[in-house]
Chain A
Amino acid sequence: MSEAIEIADVESERDGGVMTIRFNRPDVLNAFNASMHAALADALKEARDAAVRAVVLTGAGRAFCVGQDLRELREGTGDIAGRLRRHYHPNVVALRTLEKPVLAAVNGAAAGAGLSFAFACDVRIASDRASFVPAFIKIGLVPDSGCSFFASRLLGYARAFEWLATGRTLTAAEAHAWGLVSEVVEHERFAARTAELAASLAELPTRGAAMTKRLLERAAISALAEQLDWEAQLQSAATRTEDFAEGVAAFLEKRDPAFRGR
């Protein structure tokens, strides 16, 4: 490793119920290498702490994340499937199964597997300097780390195919028009807006939000009858949360609820 010592490849910080996880290899536009994956895995493990009620995933410097560090491959692509299975897949799954809202704050370029990680989050906002680059095809590769899975869900087949097979760069405005991000924010206001949105996510009834995430995950593979039953089971679980009691009490007392994520 030629990286400067004592600089973490992924930085994480807490602010109240919000945990921000920041890709931190800005000199290579936050490209993934094995040690950044390991650091991300640690951060995602920490994010399971019940005191964390919303997670922000973002990048340091100009880029969000530009996917695999090709310099790491130059020494030999080696077992790329093994690399995906060992490093990428556990982190993608960890994001999808994290039981709290995860916000991708796409501060700059998201390319290749960087897209996959933005897509694996629950909410995405973009700086007006962000761009969305399905870089795989440009070097003759195919989408990986969930990119094809998420893109086809988010975009439908026609747009997903055209986009992923041509490698066309989308601007933040185009990504917004396609529904890939829910909001585009001027770069100067981006950090403030990210913090504001994250804070509001952290005030949600966290378990209800997590169960909503699970329901939507399941909706993609369920028949209606199965989904109805699954909703009934989770609704029954939701009524046993403290936040449900608080929500009902606040409604009856005509005040704002103060959810605690329990």
Chain B
Amino acid sequence: MRADAVADVRPAAMSDDALVLVERDEPIAVVTLNRPKQLNALSEPLMDELVARLAELDRDDAVRCIVLAGSERAFAAGADIGELAQASAIEMLYARRVERWDTIRRLWTPLVGAVSGYCLGGGNELAMSCDLVIASETARFGQPETSLGIIPGAGGTQRLTRAIGKAKTMDVVLTGRFLDAFEAERAGLVARVVAREAWLEEAKRVAREIASRAPVAQRLAKEAIDRAFDSTLELGLEHERRLLYLAFASEDAREGLTAFAEKREPEFEGR
């Protein structure tokens, strides 16, 4: 049994009408998109808020895994269309809107997406920026942008292709078809499908599992996996080996190997 079964739940230090809610339940934190009436449309202010909150949590050693959730009805149904309709191309360029998404990709702390309901357009791109996705059986994934005369612009064509291959990506992007949770799991877009009653609890359970393991090793493993997508196999393998040696040099590795030999639970310090 792990010691965090009775967790220290602190109230979020912000009002319920904040665009993003943060609930710390160390060693995990749950970040919830909070524009439920707009199906969590990803407006500029919401994205700013989200990136800021995630960056704060990422700097906090007590937080070893972050859950990113939407509402039961929608993880996020896409960009804020009203906002998009008013923007000019040059404004979008200067707003560096999409660049901000890179912050999410560069987080050190493992990020678990908890997806229930609609996960469309920018919402799906946000989910794909997470390290893994736990999906409720109600989840629906899609990239419907071409019906609006635009295309996915925050990784939809690139990450989706890497996740599920060209054939299904073409199907999803060009026809606008939604994948249900089970098809998404079979295709490799999500890690697990769980009962709709349990989506958030299961995501937290996975997050606590991730948080229980050696933090340095988790960060290095995440980095190595991400490297697989923008590297040759040869360079990726070499990078992996170097990260292994680095992991070996950590105190956590000493503790983990010693605890295993002594047949006891390890206590990792993240050093």
Contacts and interface: CB of A to CB of B under 8 A. Distances in A.
B198 interface: yes
A93 B39 CA distance: 25
Interface of A, helix, strand, loop or mixed by DSSP: helix
Contacts of A230: 194-195
Interface stretch (A29-37, A124-132, A233-241): A233-241
B197 interface: yes
A233 B194 CA distance: 8
B145 interface: no
B265 interface: no
Contacts of A234: 195, 197-198
A230 B202 CA distance: 11
B251 interface: no
Nearest to B182: A221
Contacts of A221: 182
Interface size bucket, A side? under 10
B133 to A, nearest CB: 17
A234 B195 CA distance: 7
B238 interface: no
Nearest to A238: B197
B226 interface: no
B8 to A, nearest CB: 22
B201 interface: yes
Contacts of A233: 194-195, 197-198, 202
Interface in B173-212: 182, 194-195, 197-198, 201-202
Interface size bucket, B side? under 10
Contacts of A236: 197-198, 201
A233 B137 CA distance: 12
Contacts of B195: 214, 230, 233-234, 237
Q: Which of A214, A233, A234, A237 has the most CB of B within 10 A?
A: A233
Nearest to B202: A233
Nearest to B199: A233
Contacts of A237: 195, 197-198
Interface string B252-270: 0000000000000000000
Contacts of B201: 236
A230 B194 CA distance: 7
A7 B182 CA distance: 42
A234 B136 CA distance: 12
A234 B182 CA distance: 17
Contacts of B194: 230, 233
Interface in B141-190: 182
Nearest to A237: B197
A90 to B, nearest CB: 15
B97 to A, nearest CB: 37
A240 B202 CA distance: 16
A209 to B, nearest CB: 15
Q: Which of B182, B194, B197, B201 has the most CB of A within 10 A?
A: B197
A205 B11 CA distance: 35
A237 B202 CA distance: 12
Contacts of B202: 233
Interface in A221-236: 221, 230, 233-234, 236
A233 B199 CA distance: 9
Nearest to B192: A229
A97 to B, nearest CB: 11
B194 to A, nearest CB: 6
A237 B201 CA distance: 11
B116 to A, nearest CB: 13
A197 B195 CA distance: 30
A237 B197 CA distance: 6
B197 to A, nearest CB: 4
A237 B194 CA distance: 12
Q: Which of B182, B195, B202 has the most CB of A within 10 A?
A: B195
B148 to A, nearest CB: 25
Interface in A197-219: 214
A221 B193 CA distance: 13
A2 B48 CA distance: 61
Interface string B72-94: 00000000000000000000000
19 contacts: A214-B195, A221-B182, A230-B194, A230-B195, A233-B194, A233-B195, A233-B197, A233-B198, A233-B202, A234-B195, A234-B197, A234-B198, A236-B197, A236-B198, A236-B201, A237-B195, A237-B197, A237-B198, A240-B197
Interface of A: 214, 221, 230, 233-234, 236-237, 240
Given A233-B195, A233-B202, 5 more contacts: A230-B194, A233-B194, A233-B198, A234-B198, A237-B195
Q: Which 5 pairs across A and B sit closest by C-beta, in order of nearness?
A: A237-B197, A233-B198, A233-B195, A234-B195, A233-B194
